[in-house]
Amino acid sequence: MASSRLYLDWNATSPLHPAAREAVLQALDLFGNPNSVHGEGRVVRAAIEGARRRVAALTGADPAHVIFTSGATEAANMALTPDFRMGRTPLSIGRLYYSAIEHPAVREGGRFSKANITEVAVTSSGVVDLDALRSLLAAHDTSAGLPMVALMLVNNETGIVQPIKEAAEIVHAHGGLLVVDAVQAAGRLKLDIRDLGADFMIVSSHKIGGPKGAGALVTRGEVLMPRPLIHGGGQEKGHRSGTENSLAVIGFGAAAHAAIEEFEERNQTLLQLRDRLEAGMRLAAPDVIVYGADGVRVSNTTFFTLPGLKAETGQIAFDLEGVALSAGSACSSGKVGESHVLTAMGHDPKLGALRISLGFATTDADIAKAVAAFTKIAARRKPAGEAA
C-alpha cells in the first residue's frame, strides 16, 4: 500500500535511487575485503574502483583524485586543516576563511582553532561578498601560513548558486587554497573541479540518491594534500585508513552515474515543478517571501517565509497535512532554530523560513498536494503582527 505522505525534503536526504538500490542489493553478495589480493577481494576492489570512476565523472575529476570517506562531514574535516604537504614537504595553512552561509560541517572549522577562523560576509542576495573576500585575503598575514577559503557552490537552505569561479580567481591570486562544498550542487549543476578552480571538492552519497555513510573528498591533483584525518591500514592511498564501506560506495557510484545520465531531463522537470509550486504559493498568499527568486538558484529548492507563521509552527502544520519539509538545514540533531543564512542575508531570523526541496521522484500530483496544503495553512495563519 502506497504511503499517503508527501516527501519534499530532498536537500536533507534523498530516497534511494532505483539504480543505487539495485547496486547495493547485488553488492550484498560481495563479501571479500577489497584490500585482499585473492579473487574475492579483487571482485570487491573492482566494484569500488568502478564507483570511483563514476564519482570522478560526476565531479569532472581524475578517478585517482577521489578519496572515499564516511560522508561529507568527514571530507570537510579532512580538508579543513592547517597541516598540508606539498609532496613530502610540510606546508602550513595559517587561517581559514568561510562564508557566513556555510553548512555547520564547515562552520565548525575542521582542525583549525577558533582563533584562526574568519567569517566572510554575504550580500543581501545571499551570495558571498567577493569584495569582502578580496579585502580579507589582501590583509592576510602569510608569515603564519597560506590562506584557505571554504565556500559552498549551492546553499543548502536557499538553493542560491555561489560565484565560485570568481572566488577561485581571488583566492589563487592571493596564494590560497579553495575548498568547495558541492554537496547540494551534485546532480543539480554540471560539476568540473578544474573549470570551477577548486583545489578540493566535497560531495555526498545520500544527497543524490545513494546510501548514507559514503562521501568523497575530490582533489584537483595529488601533490598538495592534507594530513590524513584517520590513520591505520593506509587505505585510499594512505589518505583515509579503514576498510572501505563497499556497499555504500558502490551505491554511491550507481547514484552518481544516474545523476549524470538523467541530468538534463531531471533538472528541466524539476524547474517546471518548482515554478508551478511557487506560482501556486503566490496565488494563495501574495505576501509570501521566496528567497533568491530573483537570483540564480538550482532547480529544486524553494526557501520561503509566510508572514504570520513561525517556521516551527509551519513545519508541524505541513507535517499534519502529510507533507514532509524542513525549517532550513536538517543537520542539527532535529533542532529548529533561527537560520544563520537569513541572518547573514540581513533578514529577521525570528520569522524563520521553510524549505521545500524536490527530487527525481517528485510528480505533478505532488506539487498539487503541496500547493493545497500551503493554501490551507496560509488561510488559517494569524494576521500580521500577531504571534503564530
Distance CA 165, CA 96 (A): 19
DSSP E strands: which ranges in 76-220?
Answer: 83-86, 89-99, 117-120, 146-152, 177-181, 200-204, 215-219
Together in a domain, 229 and 280:
no
- As for how many domains the chain has, the answer is 2
- Look up the CATH number of the domain holding residue 290: 3.90.1150.10
Please name the helix (run of DSSP H) or strand (run of DSSP E) that holds residue 131, with its range, or none: helix 130-138
Distance CA 93, CA 112 (A): 9
Together in a domain, 271 and 228:
no
Would 384 be classed as within a structural domain? no
Please name the helix (run of DSSP H) or strand (run of DSSP E) that holds residue 68, with its range, or none: strand 66-69
Closest CA to 107 of 359, 374, 340: 340
Distance CA 116, CA 94 (A): 7
Residue after which a domain boundary falls, among 195, 228, 261: 261
Say what the pTM is.
0.94
Together in a domain, 113 and 242:
yes
In this prediction, residue 373 carries a pLDDT of 98
Q: Which residues form the domain of 70?
A: 22-261
Together in a domain, 226 and 86:
yes
Residue after which a domain boundary falls, among 244, 261, 278: 261
Residue after which a domain boundary falls, among 203, 226, 261: 261
The distance of Cα 161 from the centroid of its chain, to the nearest Å, equals 12
In this prediction, residue 330 carries a pLDDT of 46
Of the listed 290, 331, 372, 388, which one is catalytic? Answer: 331
> In this structure, which long-range contacts are made by residues 30-38, counting pairs with CB atoms below 8 Å and at least 24 apart in sequence?
30/246, 30/250, 33/243, 34/243, 34/244, 34/246, 35/233, 35/235, 35/243, 35/244
Would 283 be classed as within a structural domain? yes
Would 385 be classed as within a structural domain? no
356 sits in the region (left: phi over 0; alpha: psi -120 to 50; else beta) called: beta
In this prediction, residue 289 carries a pLDDT of 96
Closest CA to 196 of 60, 58, 325, 93: 60
Together in a domain, 370 and 280:
yes
- How many other CB atoms are there within 10 angstroms of residue 3's CB atom? 7
Phi/psi for 86 (5° steps) reads -105, 95
Would 58 be classed as within a structural domain? yes
Together in a domain, 138 and 188:
yes
Task: Flag residues of the chain having pLDDT under 50.
Answer: 1, 330-333, 387-388
Together in a domain, 252 and 307:
no
- Angle (CA) 321-325-326 rounded to 5° is 130
Distance CA 83, CA 73 (A): 18
Together in a domain, 127 and 83:
yes
Together in a domain, 267 and 254:
no
Q: From residue 96, how far is each of 69, 149, 217, 272 by CA, in Å?
A: 22, 6, 18, 39
- Look up the CATH number of the domain holding residue 152: 3.40.640.10
3-state secondary structure of 219: strand
Q: Which three cell numbers stand for residue 353?
A: 523560513
3-state secondary structure of 28: coil
In this prediction, residue 346 carries a pLDDT of 86
Would 388 be classed as within a structural domain? no
Distance CA 311, CA 348 (A): 12
Together in a domain, 351 and 205:
no
Would 373 be classed as within a structural domain? yes
Closest CA to 181 of 34, 299, 73: 73
The DSSP symbol for 189 reads B
Would 386 be classed as within a structural domain? no
**Residues 366 and 349: beta-carbon distance below 8 Å:** no
Together in a domain, 169 and 309:
no
Would 276 be classed as within a structural domain? yes
331: annotated active-site residue: yes
Together in a domain, 249 and 374:
no
